[in-house]
Structure 1
Amino acid sequence: MSGHSKWNNIKRKKEKTDGAKAAIFTKMAREIAVAVKEGGGPDPANNGKLRDVIAKAKANNVPNDNIARAVKKASDDDKTNYESILYEGYGPSGVAVMVETLTDNRNRTASNVRHAFDKYGASLGTTGCVSFLFTKKGVLVIEAEGRDEDAVMEDCFDVGAEDFEVSEEFMQITTDPANLHDVREALEAKGYNFISADVQYLPSTTVALSAEDDLKRMGQLLDFLEEDEDVQNFWHNLENEEDLDR
């Protein structure tokens, strides 16, 4: 993936659209509910999965009151069950797209995702059709301003990070997905705050779009996915995301 596109993608996630900001509270509440039920209860001190989700919520600027309400609701015998479903498909001109959802209504979610792909010149595929083009990694991003690159890199490798990359604005740390929790907590103990820290699918190859219509439709597809409350995350292998008409 080209460096410029990757950093542009981080900036886009940081500067979410208004619709995406409105949806993020619902998305995070769902992740908190799953973490409480599957991770061992409502106490983050005893539930590492919940600690990770709370850290992610804070990185997404979810207020502490909202986090507390979500934890309480999940621990008050909430009967809602959420299912994680991963969709794979092709955007305009064959851009590979992966969509991670968390839903209490499989039919609604499948219909919405399929509608988005159909509407914006994309097509859903079968399981495995594009996932082989991605590698699953733990990814942490911090602000580069005011940081000494060599010192940060040393701290990252000291706590078990696999890779370290830097731009003018951001520093990205990559880990084995199984080590994301430990690396994040070790770096937090060293005083680091994160723009994001979660498991992602990183593309091994990329494609570029040049046609104006393709760029417009790809931008519309990503905006739709960003604002859909059932969609927790999505990834693609578009190289020139900075050229999208959004």
Structure 2
Amino acid sequence: MGRKSAKIAAKKGASDKAKAQVYTRALKDVFKASKNGGPDPDTNFLLKVAIERCKKFNVPKDNIDRAIKKGQGSDGVGYEDVTYEGYGPNGVAIFVETSTNNVTRTVSNVRSYFRKCGGSLGVNGSLEFIFERKAVFTIPAEGIDEDEFTLELIDAGAEDVELEDDMYEVKGPMEAFGSIQDKLQSMNITPEEAGLVRIPLTYKEVDEETLEQVEKLIDMLEADDDVVTVYDNLD
């Protein structure tokens, strides 16, 4: 769940390009959930969430099944999670999460994208004070009583429950992800999005030209098969 989330694309009638990005994003979430939690959506909550999102955007079942199998290493090659941290034009912080079966290829590609867009790849830990990881859930509000829902989720460890445009956004500390997930399951609620998200602690304001360059960099990163999620601190 990065900048270009499914929620934004759905709500704003996104362009074909944005829809294609959401389509790819949804399949990457299936892959990631399968890799980390197993191939059965009945026992893997995040996989269930990712599959439901794919269905919402009419992703073919064959594509979903392939993403699940890829997450299980069905091609005989294991994937490992690797993160990269760097700065785009004008010092915009960029955090990249990847899952790769060839780290040499991935780091070479990621470094080249930063270089082509006037940025630079840094050492891991360089963005430690710019992003914090939070448990974030996005939930359709229809049929849910706001007061009761808010109390239940805060009791489960959530720090913040906000209702905006018919969607609840629930945030909590990284450690509360499991307890919030369990509470939603007990209430028979399936989020539209769920995951551990890197949220900026500080934001960078840029001019239009810089914004275009940063968005170009993000597009290049997100188009890479090895890249799972890209975060930034654009204001």
Amino acid at match of 1:122: G
- Map 1:1-246 to 2 at 5 A: 11-12=7-8, 15=14, 17-24=18-25, 27-28=28-29, 30-35=31-36, 39=37, 42-43=39-40, 50-61=44-55, 62=59, 66-71=63-68, 78-144=75-141, 147-209=144-206, 211-239=207-235
- Which moves more between the two structures, 223-232 or 159-168? 159-168
Residues 87-135 of structure 1 deviation map (CA, whole Å, 9 limit, x = unaligned): 0011221111100000111122112211221122221111111122111
Partners of 1:8 and 1:42 lie apart in 2 by: 26
Q: Distance in 2 between matches of 1:118 and 1:7?
A: 21
Q: Deviations over 1:44-82 (max 9, x none)?
A: 55xx5x432332342344555544454456668541110
Q: Matched residues, percent identical?
A: 35
What SS does the corresponding residue of 2:124 show, helix, strand or coil? coil
Q: TM-score, normalised by structure 2?
A: 0.79
Distance 1:80 1:29, change over 3 A: farther
Question: 2:135 & 2:186 partners in 1: Cα distance?
Answer: 18
* 8 Å Cα contact 1:116-1:221 kept in structure 2: yes
Greater Cα offset, 18-27 or 168-177: 18-27
Distance 1:106 1:194, change over 3 A: same
Q: Secondary structure at the match of 2:90?
A: helix
8 Å CA contact retained: 2:27, 2:67: no
Whether the 8 Å CA contact 2:33–2:46 is kept in 1: the answer is no
- Which 5+ residue runs of structure 1 have no aligned equivalent? 1-5, 240-246
SS in 1 for 2:212: helix
Partner SS for 2:83: strand
Deviates more, 1:224-233 or 1:26-35: 26-35
| Aligned equivalents of 1:52, 1:43: Cα separation in 2 | 10
TM-score, normalised relative to structure 1: 0.76
Deviations 1:127-176 (A, max 9, x none): 11112211111111123466543233123113332222333353211123
Q: Which amino acid aligns with 1:223?
A: D
State whether residues 136 and 196 of structure 2, in contact with CA within 8 Å, keep that contact through their aligned partners in structure 1.
yes
Tell me the SS of whatever aligns to 2:129.
helix
Alignment check: 8 A CA contact 1:88 1:127 kept:
yes
Matches of 1:102 and 1:18, distance apart in 2:
22
Separation (CA, whole Å) in 2 of partners of 1:230 and 1:131: 22
Q: Distance in 2 between matches of 1:105 and 1:77?
A: 16
Output the amino acid matched with 2:46.
D
Unaligned 5+ residue runs, structure 2?
Answer: none
Q: Tell me if structure 1 keeps the 8 A contact 2:114–2:120.
A: yes
> Pairwise CA RMSD of aligned residues?
3.1
